[in-house]
Structures are given as C-alpha cells and as structure tokens.
C-alpha cells in the first residue's frame, strides 16, 4: 500500500486538510487540488488509486463537470471516486440522472457518496472497502 496516492479535491482548505490527514494516517500519500482543472492536471501527472471529490466547488456545476471529466477520460475513468457533498445523496443522484441525457455521454454513478461533514471513521471504512474491491 506504500506510496499509493489519493487525490483530494475541495475548494475549502479546512476540508482538504481534514481529508488529507485521514488518508495520510491510513498510509496513503495525499495530493490536493482546490478546483476541477487542477485536479485533472494532477490526476494525469500522478495517477491516484482513488479520488475524493467535493461536489460544490463552489457550485454544483463545477464539481459535476470535474466528475464528468474524470469518468470520460480513458486513463482516469477506472479510478473510483468518492463524492463528498453538502447536498443530500438523493438529490445528487437525481441530478446526475437528469444531467446525463442533456450533456453528452452517459456518466455512471460514483462508486461512493458521502454527505458533508464527513465522519472520519466512515470515510476510512469507505476507502478501505473501495480499494479492497479493486485488488
């Protein structure tokens, strides 16, 4: 598990620090980005095993855009994504479904979804599960 990278994308510094600390103390290397564009750049440069993505950066369109980019990029599409969001899970999934027919290719639902504020123990379990399934 050494040197495996997890990309943390959030426009709030507090949230980046918190999530980074969670993944670092689990033994991963955290890479952070404060917006979607930077997140894609960093993901292409150093392919992470997991992305933890904030949906509102600061608007839902920004987070969704980043998510679509990840899921439609050949090299990045396989990376599991945990969506972190202040909006309720139901609302978000509805939004994704409504969006897909309008905006280009069908986008799969994210591998995992967590409402903000994230609970450290829950987040750790989620990361462990996602990465255990991969290997």
Partner 1 sequence: MAKTILLVDDEEGIRKVLGISLEDAGYVVHVAASGEEALRIFSKEHPAIVLTDVKMPGMDGIELLQKIKQERPDTEVIMITGHGDMDLAIKSLKYEAVDFITKPINDDALEIALNRARERITVRRQLREYTNNLEQLVHDKTKELIEAEKLAAVGQTVAGLSHAIKNIAGGLKGGTFVLEKGLDLDNRKYLMQGWEMVKGNVDKITNLSLDLLNYAKATDINYQLSEPNRQVHEIVSLMKHRAEEHGIDLKIDLAPDLKAFYFDPELIHGCLLNLVSNAIDACMEDDLESKAKEVLIKTVKAKGWGVEYQVIDNGCGMDEEVKEKVFQGFYSTKGTKGTGIGLMITKKNVDGHKGIIEVESEKGAGAKFIMRLPEGPDRIPDEI
> Which residues lie near partner 1 (CB under 8 A)?
11-12, 14-15, 17-18, 21-22, 25, 56, 58, 86, 116-120
Of the two residues 122 and 134, which places its CB atom closer to partner 1 in the complex?
122
Q: What is the C-alpha separation between 21 and 17, in angstroms, rounded?
A: 6
Of the two residues 12 and 109, which places its CB atom closer to partner 1 in the complex?
12
Angle at alpha carbon of residue 77, lines to 10 and 105, rounded to 5°: 100
Of the two residues 58 and 104, which places its CB atom closer to partner 1 in the complex?
58
Least Cβ distance, residue 16 to partner 1 (angstroms): 10
Least Cβ distance, residue 57 to partner 1 (angstroms): 9
Three-class SS of 34-60: CCHHHHHHHHHHCCCCEEEEECCCCCH
**DSSP-based three-state secondary structure for 9:** strand
Closest to 109 measured CA to CA, from 88, 125, 92 = 92
Least Cβ distance, residue 106 to partner 1 (angstroms): 28
Q: CB neighbours of 65 closer than 8 A, spacing ≥ 6?
A: 36
Of the two residues 7 and 55, which places its CB atom closer to partner 1 in the complex?
55
Of the two residues 35 and 100, which places its CB atom closer to partner 1 in the complex?
35
Least Cβ distance, residue 133 to partner 1 (angstroms): 25
Least Cβ distance, residue 135 to partner 1 (angstroms): 26
Which residue carries 């918190």 as its tokens? 18
């Amino acid at each position: 598990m050494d040197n495996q990278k997890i990309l943390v994308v959030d426009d709030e510094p507090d949230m980046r620090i918190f999530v980074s600390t969670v993944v670092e103390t689990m033994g991963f290397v955290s890479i952070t980005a404060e917006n979607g564009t930077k997140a894609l750049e960093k993901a292409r440069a150093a392919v992470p095993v997991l992305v933890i993505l904030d949906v509102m950066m600061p608007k839902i369109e920004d987070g969704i855009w980043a998510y679509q980019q990840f899921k439609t990029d050949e090299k990045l599409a396989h990376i599991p994504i945990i969506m972190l969001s202040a909006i309720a899970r139901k609302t978000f999934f509805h939004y994704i479904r409504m969006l897909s027919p309008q905006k280009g290719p069908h986008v799969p639902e994210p591998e995992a979804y967590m409402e903000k504020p994230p609970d450290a123990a829950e987040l750790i379990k989620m990361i462990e599960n996602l990465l255990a399934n991969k290997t």
